[in-house]
A and B are shown apart, each in its own frame.
Chain A
């Protein structure tokens, strides 16, 4: 079983990487936590370390927010992601 997950970057987090969307697969699992997705993401895009991701904690930096499929904002990295889900990374909102 292969789990295919998309990570999207919008606004500030899209600037350090050239691509807005990264689609990648985690093999042999049905679902993954956000933490696992972040670990995998760091392997593919190591330059995100310190810019968007805190690699010590496998968390988004506190200046960013994660949302799954546009529906649900996540806290921490324990939320589960299923095959076909998108993790949307956006700047933390505080006005405008």
Chain B
């Protein structure tokens, strides 16, 4: 088989055992890799009702057929498990050399099961899995963990690890890898922590075959050239932080816990000012020619901080802070300890509002100066930090008193920096996404920021757009392309199918590839249905549906439901959002769970 090893490495941490399991080619062709393959593995391996932080919840790292092809932006991997925030499917992507190292150990995915009896780290090579004590690594932040492991092993090894946040099972902790990159959302770090697994080191030399190397070389060169063109200007020049002033102007920048859609104190933290007043350095993930990542030198500490828009939004406007040094320090801290900045910011914003309303005794005052202290309390689970470490869904269910009305999450995953009341396609996508309030699995904002649709109008055409966006994103996340390269394709499915055919030798075409996207999204939904999903889970926070913005923009429950109905129709689902048998049959999803209504 070309492009794949055709094997999954299954590691049982409780039993300290491992084995390779063959994976049929038709499954690889149906689910490709990345989030698609890992969704299939999760569906097979996660028992119904498994505790997300218990030994039965598998933690799955998956690569893709493009990993190790040196195509631009292709060194990516996905981490998937049942999310401790949502109780539904949770997946997260990251990019770095580790994707290549993992694949070179001779498998397409690694499944971690069980729970180690003591803190452990794994050394996975192409012929062995070594279980080693991590007692000396416990308490170390992610960069120190990586450095220490490299000192102990070899300087070039690839490391995925959790920081103190994952150790203390903060529900929104991340998995850090290769110098501070994060598999950030849905709490995969907490799942890793629940397994007493501090780190995984990958080192291997097994390469897969490529069906047509010569054609792949030509494609590689062509993509490099295109990736340096106008389609990626924003990413190359300022990275995603450029979004802040744009969204602010368009009334789409959520601030003050989504009370407002622009932010009066933004000036210090716009890309424009950051570029004028600080030193910024671009860095690239492995095999990437774009280099969207920006390291900003914090003038206060002199250290470099990785900053992207979602962190800027969540630790800035969302918590009502426009202070650049607080933003940089807190973003740096989150990366070091392994906290998802979006969920962390949203939880603090909720906490500030609880303080203002007198719902919680003010262990901290509502002040930007306290953000870092609150983050520290979350990681150590000291005092109020113990409650905040649970995320907004669980914390508001504990506090009650109507605090869930301003807990800004969907299904338990905190909202990213897109204002649903002025971005209606995005609003629908956030409501129906299988992983909760997620912007990345649909890229629906792209339609709103274009002439394709009226972003202020909640109409039925949004249903089709979101379904299309989700399928397209599922293919991107399974092949795996970085989302930031997508505009270099003039016909995404045609060109991607051609590339997949060049790597694997399959006679796959655009239509088949598009169907893979639809299949993957249906399978994710099936997982959620098995875990108890009901239609009312597809919704938006109370504040979004009941409070208008200052400029009068709003979104009612009726308007959202109109769009959700249209989305279910576009998906060929039942009115209640369940999947009819004929849709599963058309997509060749052969395992039909009991919960499917026919």
Contact = CB atoms under 8 A, between A and B. Distances in A.
22 contacts: A10-B246, A10-B249, A11-B246, A15-B237, A15-B275, A61-B233, A62-B231, A63-B233, A70-B249, A70-B250, A74-B451, A88-B249, A88-B250, A90-B249, A91-B238, A94-B231, A94-B234, A94-B483, A95-B486, A96-B240, A96-B243, A96-B309
A59 to B, nearest CB: 12
A55 interface: no
Interface string B275-290: 1000000000000000
Given A63-B233, A91-B233, A75 B446 contact: no
B443 A95 contact: yes
Contacts of A94: 231, 234-235, 443, 446, 483-484, 486-487
A61 B335 CA distance: 36
B301 interface: no
B26 interface: no
B272 interface: yes
B450 interface: yes
B248 to A, nearest CB: 8
Contact of A11 (B245, B450, B451): B245
A93 B451 CA distance: 12
A5 B238 CA distance: 27
- Per DSSP, are chain B's interface residues mostly helix, strand or loop, or mixed? helix
A88 B230 CA distance: 19
- Per DSSP, are chain A's interface residues mostly helix, strand or loop, or mixed? loop
Given A8-B249, A11-B243, A15-B275, A95 B451 contact: no
A11 B272 contact: yes
Contacts of A10: 242, 245-246, 248-249
A92 B234 contact: yes
A12 interface: yes
B449 A12 contact: no
Contacts of A96: 240, 243, 308-310
Interface string B223-255: 000000011011101101011111011110000
Interface residues of B, number: 35
B345 to A, nearest CB: 15
A92 B487 contact: yes
A7 interface: no
B251 A63 contact: no
B230 A62 contact: yes
Contacts of A93: 234, 243, 246, 445-446, 449-450
Interface string B295-320: 00000000000001110000000000
A65 interface: yes
Contacts of A73: 449-451
Instruction: Pick from B230, B246, B310, B486 the residue with the most CB of A within 10 Å.
Output: B246
A12 B233 contact: yes
Nearest to B488: A94
Interface string A74-96: 11000000000000101111111
**Shortest 7 CB-CB distances between A and B: which pairs?**
A96-B240, A11-B242, A63-B230, A63-B233, A91-B234, A93-B449, A73-B451
A70 B487 contact: no
Instruction: Pick from A11, A15, A91 the residue with the most CB of B within 10 Å.
Output: A11
A11 B486 contact: no
A63 B450 contact: no
A61 B229 CA distance: 11
A15 B239 CA distance: 13
A14 interface: yes
B444 to A, nearest CB: 11
Interface residues of A, number: 26
Contacts of A62: 230-231
A91 B449 CA distance: 10
B240 A95 contact: yes
A12 to B, nearest CB: 5
Contacts of B275: 15
A57 interface: no
A90 B451 contact: no
B265 to A, nearest CB: 16
Given A91-B234, A95-B486, 11 more contacts: A11-B243, A12-B234, A12-B242, A14-B245, A15-B275, A70-B249, A72-B451, A90-B449, A95-B240, A95-B483, A95-B484
B449 A11 contact: no
Contacts of B234: 11-12, 63, 91-94
Instruction: Pick from B245, B251, B445 the residue with the most CB of A within 10 Å.
Output: B245
B451 A75 contact: yes
A95 B469 CA distance: 12
B280 to A, nearest CB: 11
B271 interface: yes
Contacts of A71: 456
A57 to B, nearest CB: 13
A4 interface: no
B309 A12 contact: no
A74 B449 CA distance: 10
Contacts of B446: 93-95
A66 to B, nearest CB: 10
A9 to B, nearest CB: 9
Contacts of B443: 94-95
B202 to A, nearest CB: 27
Contact of B238 (A15, A70, A74, A95): A15
A15 B449 contact: no
A15 B294 CA distance: 16
A3 to B, nearest CB: 22
Interface in B105-153: none
Contact of A70 (B242, B243, B251): B251
B440 to A, nearest CB: 8
A71 to B, nearest CB: 8
B272 A15 contact: yes
A16 to B, nearest CB: 10
Interface in B400-444: 440, 443
A91 B246 contact: yes
A7 B451 CA distance: 19
Instruction: Pick from B234, B251, B440, B486 the residue with the most CB of A within 10 Å.
Output: B234
Contacts of A72: 451
